[in-house]
Amino acid sequence: MRWPTHLDPHLSGLAYGSLVVGMRVPRPGEVDSQGQLVLEGVTDGLYAAVRDAVRSLPIIPRLIQVEGVSDEVYSLFPDPAVRDTVMLAAHKLAPTKSSKGITDLFLSCPGEEKIAPLPLTKKSREILSQTLVQPSSKRSCGTDSFEGVVREIDLDALRFEIRGARYQRGIRCIYDDRHKGHAGEILNCTVRVSGSYEASADEQPRLVAVETIEILKRPDQQMDLL
């Protein structure tokens, strides 16, 4: 989530209390915060996906228990990649140990006014962090290798996504410290990843705990015309 540069809350100081902030996703046909037109027909699917993901965030605090995240998360988010994305977003929003004065973060969305929201706390962040280390072993479909082009990478969250002819929706990949040194080099490369994976209801691989990464093809070099 990125705070628009032109939006300044004009806070002159801090006092004990609550600060309520609202946000909305630009609809197709509207202009976003960067002045870009959100194209109708082209971005309809993306808008629906982002809207659903944002509306799913308030569910996460209700699933966090003392010993971990409730298994109910698997039925509420049957797509492993979506589940990981929403939980990671909640983890990033939760207060950190260094957050001075911020103890609770409440999330709500239209349609849930009758349900009292539960907060994301510093403890919530710790529990989510432990859960997000790797995919659930209980849901593993086995081990396999997958090939595709790395289109997105989050170096902080240790995650990237590959896409290919066989994986139109993409496969979300979780890697560990072993691959941190060269993870930044694989963007736009065709790679083969191997590891245990989780699949969606249609048996499509969606989330992989990466053991090995092999670069099959690097992106074509573009000529410098300047």
What SS3 state is found at 77?
coil
Tens-of-pLDDT digits for all 226 residues of the chain? 455 555 555 655 556 666 666 666 666 566 555 555 554 544 455 556 667 777 888 899 999 998 899 999 999 999 999 899 999 999 998 998 887 778 888 888 776 666 678 899 999 999 999 999 877 777 888 999 999 999 889 999 999 999 988 887 889 999 999 999 889 899 999 999 999 999 988 889 999 999 999 999 998 765 454 4
Instruction: Considering the chain, tell me which residue range(s) the CATH 2.40.50.200 domain(s) occupy.
Output: 137-217
**Residue ranges in 132-168 assigned as alpha helix (H):** none
| pLDDT value at residue 43 | 46
Return the half-sphere exposure (C-beta side, CA atoms, 13 A cut-off) of residue 158: 17
Instruction: Tell me what pLDDT residue 34 has.
Output: 54
Collapsing DSSP states into helix, strand and coil, what is residue 90? helix
- Contact, 155 vs 179, CB < 8 A? no
What pTM was estimated for this model as a whole? 0.77
CA gyration radius, the chain: 20
Beta-carbon count within 10 A of 52 CB = 11
Helix 80-93 vs helix 122-131: crossing angle, to nearest 10:
150
- The angle at the Cα of 59, spanning 56 to 61, to the nearest 5 degrees, equals 130
Q: Would you tell me which CATH number, out of the four given (2.40.50.200, 2.40.30.10, 3.20.20.70, 3.40.50.300), belongs to the domain 137-217?
A: 2.40.50.200
**Side chain identity at residue 202, one-letter code:** D
pLDDT at position 120, please? 92
